[in-house]
Chains A and B, each alone.
Chain A
Amino acid sequence: MKKNTARKLPIAATLRYTLLSFMAFMALAPVYVMVSGSFKTQKQFLDSPLSPPSGFNLGGYKSAWSDSFPTWLLNSFLIVTFSVILTLALASLAAWGFARFPFKGKESLLAIIVSLMVVPPVVLLIPLFKLGVTLSLISTLQIVVFIYMALMLPFSIYMLTNYFKSIPESIIESASIDGASTFQIFRIIVLPLSGAPIATLAVVNLLWAWNELLLALVFLQSNEKKTLMVGLTGFQSRYSLDIPTVMAGMSLATLPLVVAYLFGQRYFISGLTAGSTKGE
């Protein structure tokens, strides 16, 4: 892609880099405080929160990890994996239904689904909690997965429907002539073309589900079922006098996302790019 900075005035460039460096500093400084804090002792942190750690004090990590950390991590992992995969599966099926078939009330149905994006989850909290009680599903991962799916589906369906609509008719046409069924077209042609938007949705949904606190806080009451976010919230109050441990716990909780982002970055960005070009 060709860049369009014809006039490379040194002043303009300096200004740009100053702005970018400032923003990068703003973005990274708190992360630095977290990571460097995790290697300090309580006293070092309080005395000089900004200086680099004098050594690698792993005490914080040890006490963070020996708490229920591995259990929480596993719970978060299970919930995120199942809810994101199931959401993507159901959303792509539904989106294909919306994009491919005309039927009465289609636009209205889609409009209703989209409007659900704005429903605050807290609104669902009380009825769903009662439902969970009736079905004895409190403190189970299933109910959280199920609710997360419902909350992630509207956006996912909407985005994929628009993407599928943008796939040129000619491609689908030629497959139909070859006698492929609707499902075969979906599986062999549509899905492989949609890697980028699906990857984008996977990342967006993954971030959301991994970070969700409110529902997890209410539905996962027993310690063995808590997600990382719920665990960490209690963790903070339990170790309020032990900042390195808190920071170590926070660093550990962030690590999977950073890794996921580094691996998914290419798909994520190309997915967004593809979405915006093809959507026109």
Chain B
Amino acid sequence: MTSLLRPKLSGGNSNRRSALPSREALYWIAPACAVIIFIFGYSIVNLITQSLRYDGDWVGFENFSIVISDPLFLVALRHNLFLLSAVPILVLIAFILAITLFETRRGMRFYRSAVFLPYILPIPVVAVIFGQIYQLNGVLNTFLSSIGLDFLIQDWLGDPDIALGTMGSVIIWKEVGFGVILMLAHLISLPTETYEAAKLDGAGFWRTHFVITRPAIKTTLIFYAVIESITMVSWVFNYVYVMSNGLGGPGNATMVSELYIYRMAFQNNAPELAAAASVFLFAITLILLVAFFKIQRRSISKTFRS
């Protein structure tokens, strides 16, 4: 799994293989590429042409200027950004859980399965359950008041100031298990000597793991952070759609770019504006991607220098 982040470094034996006919590669790659090109290539080109038209006529960048001047679209993007900022928290929680599980022998399997369970639950299921739990007169508040924590009671999904945070907590709840499993798998594969030395030096739990473990599984941490960043920008539709009845409410509190696009296309009958918004979103993800490759290359070269 860690190798995912180092494509360039792993193909070291290309000398021997250059003797193979390169044309044969085509037969192997073609079927998959055909599917990819058909779906992505067609969509992206079609999307761009559609974003430049209105009612069949060529309108230049009119759709783009309408979308970018729409406060709602900007709010939606800001909310994606907010969710993106939850990624470090998510990685940290997963990391702490992974090292704790790693240090645990008895009951490890049970805890591992328990923590992983949310990840396999269908998102609509998660959204519906939490919709019930977070109601003002729902499970969570009933629980809080029964243990005397009345001051913590909130209208979790009904208060526009905290609804997005609540939504973020649900996403973290669901996604954390994936990170734990990834990191745990990497931890188990590490040579034990590293730790023995640290232990002999008398390093404590946190010091051991933050000084030794963290860099050792850095690639997995980055990989997980990237996957979750993609989730926060491109895959939160399911949560928001189900938990806010497709509205992104209360107010605009949980409007995200995907829902904006969906509503433009299928509720407001403005596919050309949806297309323009999609082009923006696509451009943003590309920028994120390029930024990621830059950071990644730097971090990998650093890892190897030290």
Contacts and interface: CB of A to CB of B under 8 A. Distances in A.
Is any CB of A less than 8 Å from a CB of B in the complex?
A: yes
Interface of A: 1-7, 12, 16-17, 19-20, 23-24, 26-28, 30-31, 33-34, 37, 49-50, 90-91, 93-94, 96-104, 106-107, 109-110, 113-128, 130-131, 146-147, 149-151, 153-154, 157-159, 161-163, 165-166, 169, 182, 207, 210-214, 217-218, 228-229, 232-233, 236-237, 243, 246-247, 250, 253-254, 257-258, 260-261, 265, 268-269, 272-273, 275-280
A146 B35 contact: yes
Contacts of A261: 116, 120
A23 B115 contact: yes
Contact of B133 (A19, A33, A154): A33
B237 interface: yes
Interface stretch (B20-28, B55-63, B158-166): B20-28
Contacts of B262: 122, 125, 214
B199 A6 contact: yes
30 contacts: A1-B192, A3-B102, A3-B103, A33-B129, A33-B132, A93-B29, A93-B32, A94-B28, A94-B33, A97-B28, A101-B25, A116-B40, A120-B285, A123-B281, A124-B43, A128-B43, A150-B40, A154-B36, A158-B4, A165-B11, A207-B120, A211-B123, A213-B123, A213-B241, A232-B128, A272-B182, A275-B3, A277-B189, A279-B4, A279-B10
Contact of A121 (B120, B192, B199, B234): B234
Contacts of A16: 100, 103-104
A125 B261 contact: yes
B41 to A, nearest CB: 10
Contacts, number: 331
B123 A127 contact: no
Contacts of A210: 122
Interface of B: 1-4, 6-8, 10-11, 13-14, 16-18, 20-29, 31-33, 35-36, 38-40, 42-44, 46-47, 50, 96-97, 100-105, 107, 110-111, 113-126, 128-133, 138-139, 142-143, 146, 173, 177, 181-182, 185-186, 188-189, 192, 195-196, 199, 205, 220, 230, 233-235, 237-238, 241-242, 245, 257-258, 261-262, 265-266, 271, 274-275, 278-279, 281-282, 285-286, 288-289
Given A16-B103, A150-B40, A213-B123, A98 B10 contact: no
Nearest first, the 8 closest Cβ-Cβ pairs linking A and B are: A279-B3, A97-B28, A120-B234, A150-B39, A101-B25, A272-B185, A127-B46, A94-B32
Contacts of B130: 30
Contacts of A265: 113
B115 A27 contact: yes
B138 to A, nearest CB: 7
Contacts of A228: 122
A100 B25 contact: yes
B7 A126 contact: no
Contacts of A157: 32
A94 B29 contact: yes
A104 B10 contact: no
Contact of A23 (B27, B97, B121, B125): B97
A228 B128 CA distance: 14
Contacts of B50: 126-127
Contact of B3 (A93, A109, A166, A268): A166
Contacts of B139: 33, 49-50
B229 to A, nearest CB: 9
A221 to B, nearest CB: 11
A90 B119 CA distance: 26
B11 A120 contact: no
A20 B111 contact: yes
Given A1-B188, A254-B125, A150 B38 contact: yes
A123 B282 contact: yes
A272 B1 contact: yes
A103 B42 CA distance: 25
B105 A3 contact: yes
A101 B245 CA distance: 50
Given A100-B25, A101-B28, A276-B2, A118 B234 contact: yes
B282 A30 contact: no
A28 B129 contact: no
Contact of B47 (A26, A127, A260): A127
Given A276-B2, A277-B189, A214 B7 contact: no
A33 B120 CA distance: 17
A107 B132 contact: no
Given A102-B17, A250-B128, A279-B10, A124 B113 contact: no
Contact of B39 (A114, A122, A128): A128
Given A34-B125, A269-B181, 4 more contacts: A125-B274, A153-B32, A229-B124, A243-B132
B235 A120 contact: yes
